[in-house]
């Protein structure tokens, strides 16, 4: 049996040095703790609280893999850093302001997280960086893909669902998994609610970020952050436990098992 800690990355020999630029001490502390929880290979090398401190730090040519950068700092917007010194490392921006997204993506951005940062979105951003890093693709390629997301040309950010006569907009971070039952399609939310959705799983599979959602079989598309355990099963199959629990056992076929394990980070 293979145990899988929910919402945590386990990648051996992939130590990652991370810098946090954040002027709110509580936010910096929260982010630092969450990073350690979701990826045990992360080392936070420093926490800086200003543009001036960041410029001094970058001038020393530090050993870094990834930067988490708040946009609104006490001495100005962190975008100013890029105009004063060469920032050669990929960046995940964190901010309370949606309007900065387009400008952020024109820089070294891997992702853009709105505060308060939640565990699922942080995990998805780390996975996106890991995928980019593993493929050794150019930063601009990742930025172009993210711009497509922003413009609605790629992955959806929310779905319209029904509960009785009510229409409900459900954002992606709230979705634990999609499933089909009795010829109807449903969303299962992280708070264990079930909503009907007028889309086939085939359509949903092509609309969701493949670093976060995986089509494990005909009945289920699961969110990485809501996988609780994965067990080896009969004839090379896998059994997946999710949280909240599914209405039936989720079995990954032998043919899909290898692809699923690679997606998990094997």
Most confident of the following: 22-26, 99-103, 135-139: 22-26
Asked if residue 174 and residue 100 are part of one domain, the reply reads no
Place of tokens 């079989």: 217
Q: 12 is written with which tokens?
A: 């051996």
Classify residue 4: in a domain, yes or no.
no
Residue 231, beta-bridge partner list: 239
Model confidence band, residue 239 (pLDDT cutoffs 50, 70, 90): very high
Of the residues 117, 150, 183, which one is the last residue of a structural domain? 150
Residue 248 in any domain: the answer is yes
> Are 208 and 260 contained in the same domain?
yes
Domain boundary among 108, 127, 150: 150
Residue 25 sits in the same domain as residue 145: yes
Segment of 35-39, 157-161, 238-242 carrying the highest mean pLDDT: 238-242
pLDDT tens-digit profile of 184-236? Answer: 999 999 999 999 999 999 989 888 888 889 999 999 999 988 998 999 998 89
Query: Could you tell me if 81 and 101 lie in one domain?
Result: yes
How many angstroms separate the CA atoms of 82 and 99, rounded?
Answer: 18
Examine the pLDDT at 140 and tell me if it is beyond 50: no
Count of the separate structural domains present in the chain: 2
Whole-angstrom distance between the N-terminal and C-terminal Cα of the chain?
Answer: 15
| pLDDT value at 71 more than 80 | yes
Same domain? 105 vs 165? no
Give me the domain span that covers residue 170: 158-264
Instruction: Give the CATH number, domain containing residue 136.
Output: 3.40.50.2300
Q: What's the CATH code of the domain at 166? A: 2.40.50.1020
- Residue 193 and residue 103 share a domain: no
Residue 9 located in a structural domain:
no
Alpha carbons 185 and 170: distance in angstroms, whole number: 14
pLDDT > 60? residue 266: no
Tokens of 30: 């929260």
84 in any annotated domain: yes
| CA atoms lying within 13 Å on the CB side of residue 62 | 17
CA angle, 37 then 92 then 136, to 5°: 95
Q: Is residue 145 part of a domain?
A: yes
169 found inside a domain: yes
Q: How confident is the model at residue 117 (pLDDT cuts 50, 70, 90)?
A: confident
């Amino acid at each position: 049996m293979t145990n899988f800690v929910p919402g945590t990355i386990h990648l051996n020999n992939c130590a990652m040095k991370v810098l946090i630029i954040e002027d709110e001490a509580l936010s910096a502390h929260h982010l630092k703790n969450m990073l350690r929880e979701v990826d045990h290979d992360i080392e936070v090398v420093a926490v800086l609280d200003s543009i001036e401190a960041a410029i001094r730090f970058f001038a020393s040519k530090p050993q870094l893999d990834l930067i988490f950068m708040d946009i609104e700092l006490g001495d100005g917007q962190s975008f100013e850093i890029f105009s004063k010194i060469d920032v050669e490392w990929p960046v995940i921006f964190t901010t309370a302001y949606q309007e900065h997204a387009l400008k952020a993506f024109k820089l070294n951005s891997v992702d853009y997280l709105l505060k308060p940062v939640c565990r699922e979105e942080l995990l998805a951003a780390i996975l996106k960086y890991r995928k980019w890093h593993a493929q050794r693709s150019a930063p601009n390629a990742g930025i172009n893909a993210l711009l497509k997301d922003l413009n609605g040309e790629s992955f959806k950010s929310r779905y319209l669902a029904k509960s009785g006569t009510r229409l409900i907009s459900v954002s992606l971070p709230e979705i634990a998994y999609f499933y089909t039952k009795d010829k109807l399609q449903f969303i299962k939310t992280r708070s264990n609610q079930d909503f009907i959705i007028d889309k086939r799983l085939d359509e949903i599979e092509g609309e969701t970020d493949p670093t976060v959602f995986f089509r494990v079989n005909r009945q289920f598309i699961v969110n990485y952050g809501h996988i609780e355990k994965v067990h080896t099963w009969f004839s090379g199959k896998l059994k997946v436990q999710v949280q909240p629990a599914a209405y039936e056992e989720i079995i990954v076929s032998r043919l899909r098992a290898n692809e699923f394990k690679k997606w998990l980070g094997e």
